[in-house]
Amino acid sequence: MNRPVYTLKDIAELAQVSRGTVDRVVHGRGKVSKKTYSKVKLILDKIDYKPNLVAQTLRKGVLYEIAVLMPDYQYEIYWKRAFEGVNKAITDYASFGITIQTFLFNPYESLNFKQQYEKIVSGKFSAVLVAPIFYKESLVFFSKCRDAGLPYFTFNTYLEDSGAITHIGVDLFQNGKTAGSLMHKVLSGDDEYLVMHINEELKNSRHMQEKEQGFNQYLVNKGVVADQIHVLTVDGIEKIEGQLMQKLSDVDKIKGIFVTTSKVWMVAKILHTHALDKVLIGSDLLEENVHYLNTGIIDFLIFQNPLLQANLGIQSIIDHLVFKNKIHDRILLPIEIIIKENLREFQA
Amino acid sequence: MNRPVYTLKDIAELAQVSRGTVDRVVHGRGKVSKKTYSKVKLILDKIDYKPNLVAQTLRKGVLYEIAVLMPDYQYEIYWKRAFEGVNKAITDYASFGITIQTFLFNPYESLNFKQQYEKIVSGKFSAVLVAPIFYKESLVFFSKCRDAGLPYFTFNTYLEDSGAITHIGVDLFQNGKTAGSLMHKVLSGDDEYLVMHINEELKNSRHMQEKEQGFNQYLVNKGVVADQIHVLTVDGIEKIEGQLMQKLSDVDKIKGIFVTTSKVWMVAKILHTHALDKVLIGSDLLEENVHYLNTGIIDFLIFQNPLLQANLGIQSIIDHLVFKNKIHDRILLPIEIIIKENLREFQA
DNA sequence: TAGGTATATGTGCACGAGAACATATTGAAA
DNA sequence: TTTCAATATGTTCTCGTGCACATATACCTA
């Protein structure tokens, strides 16, 4: 079953050369005659030599340094969990010679994003994990990484053709479908639906679109007619209450509301003060959302485990660096459905 | 922030003794005078010396050997995922000097369980992870472990006061509450509920009880009266259809069925052949269950990620052995709610 | 006090890889 | 053919631990 493990010494003996020469072939450090090179290379390939990581780490002190570039949770609490995921990875892998350095940026300042990525590009990292929430700036960053020969991995925000080795995230379309399905199970035949976009920031707009489309597609497949699905886009927090109440009084058959962003608690608050009973679905485990889930105003929260995303991101990088595995282009994480009763374990 | 890392050599210099002496103090190998011992020990404590794992692994070849004792999925397909979780851990940690040996037993033969654990007890393992599905036999095993000074961790099946260092599992009561909540959201006021236990094996009975209690408690709290909740215990697969159809014709207000075991697909099959439309909730991602989830007969599956349980089990052991962390007594994993729309990612 | 034996302490090697340094081999020009 | 450089190959030391072995003290007895 298990093939024997060869060391440099073994190979040196097999090839009748010295360890140093084998080492040069392994690392392509030149200074090897063609003849010896091919002789050693042949053996190397046949036995699929993998250097002993432990020895490598002991010798080099540090095996790999990984950079993480993500928003600072001081500005957006959503990122706190992702940060924790990175921290977990830091402690988990420190003893094995892998160090991780975190670069946080203000998610409302693309300039700050640039400042941080400059540090990474000019540093001496083996790979970088990034949450590319700024579209244009990220493309520039990627091209700089390619120039520097720095492998990059993305999480949270998917950019098509980014050139990232692996992306770790969730399928937003499916996320919307999940919301649609849950709501459809709970409501009955001629009830009507409302999709709400609470849109402080343009950078989220694609996210919201995808979710809406998934939501619609599910319902339409189930025979809900387009007239039964309403959309409300609010582009300022102060306008929410007015616009929502207007909509609900215009269309009193609306029985379910799907909020595409994490600001669902604002809707919950409004429903609560007006004593309105609707099926309410939102995203993310913000403290406020959890509160309204517990009080029963929010029925479902859909959760894209940011802690796990970040943690898996690091793991993928290590897989790539250490084990040289060609892994998946895209790792899709579960879309978690959260209700009051299964909330606790997700908060741990 | 980061304290400096001391090596044996550093400490030897600080204490004005040789590396060998420090080594003897660290490992308590005797042959050290009281005076030197306390001198070295003092320094050791002050700087909180932790041996370099990498060097240790290089020197010793293997750092730790971990045994896993769990059912063979050839007999019960549920365990396949757990097995995969263990395998993942094996490949993940192999390079770091941690080897894992798996001992599978027939979950219908307690004798086989004993045979396997004997091998572990008489082996040279550093720790063991066990799914203690046989109550009495497990207690014996635990006491043998304690005698042998072998730390043990449990997963999947929780035994109170087992003496395990950590248990990894899900809260079954909460599992039942989750089912109750989901069903209550979907059904309306005077619909009635049915809890089904499909009980091939006594060993599952406690599981099923806990789930039923959680289910009941939730509904009763919501004002559902006890008369609306029916229970059907089936103790032979061949009797399911007869008993179920009898029940449903007796009580035609039953609109939702909660099956406490993973055999929910059998109920789905029956409902399907009789063209009955009920809200159906069950457990576990068996192939058959997934099929009926996809065809819409099963509405929700509640999932206790066995892969993650096993994987986290190994991780806890490593935390304990390598980092000597005193961690939690009990790790509770999320209760995952699965519908057709978010199924895909859980199967990966 | 010499001799011997416990007991205490110090030293050297191995683990496998990496890299600096040392040595050997080639080839071309004088 | 000699000389020198360029290239090719071999050797040795380092990383931190663990353990076997070597050496050094202390203690006891004749």
∠ CA A73-A78-A82, nearest 5°, is 75
d(CA A301, CA A268): 12
CA-based nearest distance B53→chain A, Å: 7
Going by C-beta distance under 8 Å and a sequence separation of 6 or more, which residues neighbour residue B227?
none
Scan residues 160-199 of B and list those with Cβ closer than 8 Å to A.
170-171, 174, 177-178, 180-182, 185-186
Evaluate if the CB of B58 falls below 7 Å from strand D. Answer: yes
Predicted pLDDT at B72: 97
Contacts of A337 in chain B (CB under 8 A): 336-339, 342
Write down the residue that tokens 């102060």 correspond to: A238
Q: Residue B38 corresponds to which amino acid?
A: S
Chain C footprint positions (protein CB, under 7 Å)? 7-12, 14-21
Tokens 């244009």 map to which residue? A136
DSSP β-bridge partners for residue B197: B233
Which single residue is written with the structure tokens 């010396």?
B49
- Distance from the A88 Cα atom to the nearest Cα atom in chain B, whole angstroms: 12
What is residue B261's DSSP assignment? Answer: S
Average pLDDT, chain A: 91
Contact criterion met (CB < 8 Å) for A54 and B52: no
pLDDT at A97: 83
pLDDT at B2: 61
Q: How far is B25 from chain A (nearest CA, A)?
A: 23
Whether the CB of A62 is less than 7 Å away from nucleic strand C comes out as no
Percentage above 70 pLDDT, chain A: 96
Tell whether B340 lies on the interface with A, counting CB pairs under 8 A.
Answer: yes
Structure-block tokens of residue B92 = 């993940």
Residue A324 at interface with chain B, using a CB cutoff of 8 Å: no
Q: Which long-range contacts (CB under 8 A, 24 or more apart) does A158-167 make?
A: A158/A330, A159/A132, A159/A135, A162/A132, A162/A138, A165/A316, A165/A320, A165/A327, A165/A329, A166/A313, A166/A316, A166/A320, A166/A327, A166/A328, A166/A329, A166/A330, A166/A331, A167/A329, A167/A330, A167/A331
Q: What is the pLDDT of residue A185?
A: 94
How crowded is the C-beta side of A339, counted as CA atoms within 13 Å? 24
A277 touches B: beta carbon within 8 Å: no
Q: Is the CB of A33 under 7 A from strand D?
A: yes
Instruction: Establish whether the CB of B19 is closer than 7 Å to any nucleic acid atom in strand C.
Output: yes
B52-72: pLDDT as tens digits:
989 999 998 888 899 999 999
A 10 A CB-CB count for A232 gives 19
Task: State how far the Cα of B106 lies from the Cα of B100, in Å rounded to an integer.
Answer: 20
Asked if B323's CB is within 8 angstroms of A334's CB, the reply is: no
pLDDT for A325 equals 67
Return the closest-CA partner of residue B65 out of B94, B88, B87, B91.
Answer: B94
| Partner-chain contact A341 B218, CB within 8 Å | yes
Arithmetic mean of pLDDT, A130-137: 93
- pLDDT number for residue A188: 86
Q: CB of A218 within 8 Å of any CB in chain B? A: yes
Question: Which spans in A167-305 are helix H?
Answer: 172-186, 205-221, 240-250, 264-273, 287-294
Would you state the pLDDT for residue A83? 96
Closest partner CB to B341 (pick from A58, A95, A218): A218
Asked if B336 and A336 come within 8 Å (Cβ–Cβ), the reply is: yes
Considering only CA atoms, which residue is closest to the C1' of nucleotide D12?
A20
- Place A131 in a pLDDT band, splitting at 50, 70 and 90: very high
CA of A42, C1' of D6: distance in angstroms: 27
**Which two structure tokens, joined as six digits, stand for B297?**
């007969």
What 3-state class would DSSP assign to A223? Answer: coil
Rounded, the Å distance between the CA of A17 and C1' of C23 is: 15
Q: What's the CA–C1' distance between A306 and C4, in Å?
A: 72
Q: What are the chain A neighbours of B283 within 8 Å (beta carbons)?
A: none
**Low-confidence stretches of chain B (pLDDT beneath 70):** 1-3, 200-204, 325-327, 348
Tokens linked to B120? 């572990």
Strand D and A27 CB separated by under 7 Å: no
- Locus of tokens 């005077």: B190
| A300, pLDDT greater than 70 | yes
CB contacts < 8 A, A to B, total 98
C-beta neighbour count of A170 within 10 angstroms: 23
Average pLDDT over residues A245-256: 93
Which has the closest alpha carbon to A245: A229, A266, A227, A225? A266
Q: What is the pLDDT of residue A8?
A: 93
Sign of the CA dihedral A119, A121, A126, A131? positive
Closest CA to B54 of B2, B100, B5: B5
Which pLDDT tens digit goes with each residue over B225-239? 989 999 999 887 888
Between CA B18 and C1' C5 the distance (Å) reads 24
Q: Nearest-CA neighbor of B134 among B153, B148, B113?
A: B113
Query: Which positions on strand D lie below 7 Å from a protein C-beta?
Result: 7-12, 14-21
Q: CB B342 to CB A336 under 8 A?
A: yes
Determine the residue type at B44.
L
* The pair of three-digit structure tokens given for residue A30, joined into one six-digit string: 């030149």
Among A310, A4, A326, CA closest to A157: A310
CA distances (Å), B82 to each of A285, A319, B123, B279, B348, in order? 28, 21, 23, 29, 14
CB-based contact A40:A15 (threshold 8 Å): yes
Asked if B337 has any chain A CB less than 8 Å from its own CB, the reply is yes
**B293 lies within 8 A of chain A by CB:** no
CA distance B284 to B40: 55
The pLDDT of residue A231: 93
Which residue from A13, A293, A172 is spatially nearest to B185, judged by alpha carbons?
A293
pLDDT at A215: 96
Report yes or no: B71 and B104 within 8 Å, Cβ to Cβ: yes
Closest approach of A50 to chain B, Cα-based (Å): 10
| The model's pTM | 0.85
Rounded-to-integer distance, Cα A57 and Cα A235, Å: 52
